[in-house]
A = this chain, B = another copy of it.
Amino acid sequence: MRSKAPIDEKSRAAEVSKRRVSLHSSKNNSRHSDKYQRILDAAILVIAEHGYFQSRVSEIAERAGVADGTIYLYFKNKEEILRAAITSAFTEFLRRARHELESTSDPVEQLHRLARLHLSALSANKPLAAVFQTELRHSAKFLAEFSRTELKQYFDLIREIVRRGQQAGTFRPGVSDKIVANCFFGALDEMVTSWVLSDHDYPLEGAAVAVADVIISGLKA
């Protein structure tokens, strides 16, 4: 029974700048990436504000500062925009997660780092977080694909840490790594959802230690 703390239009609208996006330094390194990225960024903002199905392609275009038709030079259709936006952001997140884990091999520390990164990454971009928490699952086909590929890599990352911890004797055996991954991810995910839906903008990252603690304590040998 998923669903979270309240969200209201106002807070959402407030946090989402209505001005044209310029999240990325407009170095314009290629004629492609410029508009392509502006469209993706605009899409995140618009979808975070209205939800995927109630977002208008024309509003994304307007926010990106391009003509409606231009969208279709870069994306096959509306769904592809959502797909690309989420995949691109998530790929970057995965890259950072892997990088983060390299500097230590202690499973406990690794889970802590993952929890911190999970919360801080989304915390840093509330519109993006809103899209991840609420819009990711709307297209069954897309979600199937995403879960089977991108998201699975994240789960595998977690499960491997757990397994190594169990092998090292840090974590007690007998707990399925799959279930632990679900718990770990689910707990963090729930924290983010609550935060996304809440009115007041409390610091999300602070919860990382507490959440990781609950899970890790439950794992300790």
A1 touches B144 (CB 8 A): no
Contact with B along A170-194 (1 / 0, CB 8 A): 0000011001101101111111111
B210 touches A194 (CB 8 A): no
A147 touches B3 (CB 8 A): yes
Q: Which of chain B's residues have a CB closer than 8 A to the CB of A93?
A: 1
**A140 to B: closest C-beta gap in Å:** 5
Number of this chain's copies in the complex = 4
Considering the complex, give the chain B residue whose CB is closest to the CB of A152: B5
The interface size of chain A toward B, counting residues with CB under 8 Å, comes to: 61
A1 touches B141 (CB 8 A): no
The residues of A with any CB-CB pair to B shorter than 8 Å are 1-9, 12, 51, 53-54, 90, 93, 118, 122, 132-134, 136-138, 140-141, 143-148, 151, 154, 175-176, 179-180, 182-183, 185-194, 197, 207, 210-211, 213-220
Can you list 17 A-B pairs with a CB-CB distance of less than 8 A?
A1-B154, A2-B132, A3-B132, A3-B147, A4-B137, A8-B144, A143-B197, A144-B197, A147-B197, A175-B214, A179-B210, A182-B190, A183-B183, A183-B214, A186-B189, A186-B190, A186-B191
